[in-house]
């Protein structure tokens, strides 16, 4: 087992002392980087990039070669699980992800298999092993999955959706069928994340991108309850270390207290929350990750630095903060601005530790 040279990300998630606030960015391996676009062009398309462990490793490491980030995140997609369940994932240019098969009945749900991580998603496990080996202890590796509710929306809608018409109709018309789908997905996500942990992921994040589109009652029953099941079923120790879990519900600021009750080590915050108020609400129960508006990166470096300073001051003194964006970095951001952001976090945060 290689010793971690920089473990401040893992330490912050466990609320242990750190020298400066750790930082990484959602979608840090992505289209804003010219080197990523070059790799994607060589791979041919997104699916070929994601399903080739060497390419996945190459693009995972690109942002780390450019910036002093405190964590690497596996290069993959949240829709690998529905694809392995036989839904047939493909990407339309300008349209985003689509599925060849769509869930439209209880029979469709009953027919879904629960994928075996090594057999059905072996390319992801191989990518994790390849990246862990290439990192050689530089920084920790984050594994991830979509939440059951978020995956279910794509499977029922056949792709992304503005109003979630079909998935919400199923939820209200036939809650039993929706629960069966979510239960299968929770089993699949648990196995998938445990597979990633065994392959070398040192922390995992559950992306509940669309949980915030539910009513409060529906969120608790159809999203949070299934994330709770996953957290309860995860390997929490591996290679002699705690494996922290981060829950991130976009637009989930109303439910932080309930999210903190799941047993996850950390909650991801989008930019609509004030991080200081969030900290006051959850107390010492969880670490917080976030939460700068990604579009701040379009502003000049001085403005980026000022916003970083404001968020650090809002969180205040002590460990338990992982700096991140409130959602993924966008493709049009100037890479130099991302660099200014990361530099500002490290430079300005020392005074709080």
Dihedrals φ, ψ of 220, to 5°? -65, -40
Kindly report, residue by residue over 133-188, the tens digit of the pLDDT.
999 999 999 999 999 999 999 999 999 999 999 999 999 999 999 999 999 999 99
pLDDT value for 1: 62
Question: 84: which DSSP letter?
Answer: I
Instruction: Check the annotation: does 241 bind a ligand.
Output: no
String of DSSP letters for 236-275: -EETTEE--EEEEETT-GGGHHHHHTT--SEEE--TTS-H
Structure tokens at 31: 């289209």
What are the angstrom distances between the C-alpha of 228 and each of 127, 190, 231?
Answer: 27, 11, 5
89-92 and 203-208: which strand pairing?
A: unpaired
Strands 321-325 and 287-292: parallel
Q: Which residues of the chain have pLDDT under 70?
A: 1
Structure tokens at 257: 């207290």
Beta strands in the chain (DSSP E): 72-73, 89-92, 96-99, 141-146, 203-208, 237-238, 241-242, 245-249, 266-268, 287-292, 321-325
SS3 334: coil
Q: Could you read off the pLDDT of 5-25 as tens digits, one per residue?
A: 999 999 999 999 999 999 999
Q: Is 37 annotated as a binding residue?
A: no
Residue 128 structure tokens: 């994790």
> Is 208 within any annotated ligand binding site?
no
Q: What is the pLDDT of residue 92?
A: 78
| Annotated active-site residue in 32, 36, 67, 154 | 154
CA distance 253 to 184: 27
Q: Is 327 assigned a ligand-binding role in the annotation?
A: yes
* C-alpha span between 154 and 190 (Å, rounded): 19
Torsion angles phi and psi, residue 347, rounded to 5: -70, -40
Active-site pick, 8, 11, 40, 138 = 40
Q: What is the largest CA-CA distance in the chain?
A: 58
Is 108 labeled as catalytic in the residue annotation? no
334 is in an annotated binding site: no
Residue-wise pLDDT tens digits, 233-257: 999 999 999 999 999 999 999 999 9
Long-range contacts of 211-217 (CB under 8 A, 24+ apart): 211/147, 211/149, 211/150, 211/249, 211/250, 211/251, 211/252, 212/249, 212/250, 212/251, 212/252, 212/270, 213/164, 213/251, 214/149, 216/254, 216/255
Q: Choosing from 31, 198, 236, 285, which is the catalytic residue?
A: 31
Is the bond into 291 cis (omega within 30 degrees of 0)? yes
Residue 180 annotated to the active site: no
Q: Is 337 annotated as a binding residue?
A: no
How far apart CA 273 and CA 225 sit, in angstroms, is 22
Active site residue 172: no
- Rounded CA gap, 235 and 233, in Å? 7
Q: Is 209 a known ligand-binding residue?
A: yes
Residue pair 63/328 in contact (Cβ under 8 Å)? The answer is: no
Query: Annotated catalytic residue: which of 7, 8, 32, 77?
Result: 77
What contacts 137, CB < 8 A, 6 or more positions away? 2, 3, 4, 5
CA 212 to chain centre: 15
For residues 268 and 248, the answer to whether their CB atoms sit within 8 Å is: yes
242 is known to lie in a ligand binding site: no
**Does the active-site annotation cover 285?**
no
Of 253, 207, 254, 212, the residue nearest 227 (C-alpha): 207
One of 7, 8, 11, 27 is an active-site residue; which one? 27
Q: Could you give the residue range(s) of every CATH 3.20.20.210 domain in the chain?
A: 74-243
CATH of domain 74-243: 3.20.20.210
* 77 is known as an active-site residue: yes
Q: What is the pLDDT of residue 243?
A: 98
């Amino acid at each position: 087992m290689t010793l971690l040279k920089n473990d401040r990300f893992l330490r912050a998630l466990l609320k242990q002392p750190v020298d400066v606030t750790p930082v990484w960015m959602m979608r840090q391996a992505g289209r804003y980087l010219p080197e990523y676009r070059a790799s994607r062009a060589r791979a041919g398309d997104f699916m070929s990039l994601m399903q080739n462990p060497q390419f996945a490793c190459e693009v995972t490491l690109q942002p780390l070669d450019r910036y002093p980030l405190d964590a690497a995140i596996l290069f993959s997609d949240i829709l690998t699980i529905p694809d392995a369940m036989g839904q047939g994932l493909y990407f339309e240019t300008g349209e985003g992800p689509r599925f060849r098969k769509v869930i439209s009945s209880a029979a469709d749900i009953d027919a879904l298999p629960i994928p075996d991580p090594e057999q059905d998603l072996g390319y992801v496990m191989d990518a994790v092993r390849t990246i862990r080996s290439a990192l050689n202890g530089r920084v920790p590796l984050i594994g991830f999955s979509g939440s059951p509710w978020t995956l279910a929306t794509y499977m029922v809608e056949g792709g992304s959706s503005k109003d979630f018409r079909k998935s919400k109709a199923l939820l209200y018309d036939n809650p039993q069928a929706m629960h069966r789908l979510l239960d299968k997905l929770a089993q699949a996500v648990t196995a998938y994340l445990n597979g990633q942990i065994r392959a070398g992921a040192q922390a995992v994040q559950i992306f509940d991108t669309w949980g915030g589109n539910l009513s409060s009652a529906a969120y608790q029953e159809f999203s949070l309850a299934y994330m709770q099941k996953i957290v309860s079923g995860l390997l929490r120790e591996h290679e002699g270390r705690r494996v922290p879990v981060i829950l991130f519900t976009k637009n989930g600021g109303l439910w932080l207290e309930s999210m903190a009750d799941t047993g996850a080590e950390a909650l991801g915050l989008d930019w609509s929350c004030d991080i200081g108020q969030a900290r006051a609400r959850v107390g010492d129960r969880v670490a917080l990750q976030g939460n700068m508006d990604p579009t701040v990166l379009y502003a000049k470096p001085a403005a980026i630095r000022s916003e970083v300073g404001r968020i650090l001051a809002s969180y205040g003194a002590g460990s338990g903060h992982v700096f991140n964006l409130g959602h993924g970095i966008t493709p049009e951001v100037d890479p130099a601005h991302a660099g200014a952001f990361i530099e500002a976090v490290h430079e300005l945060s020392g005074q709080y530790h």
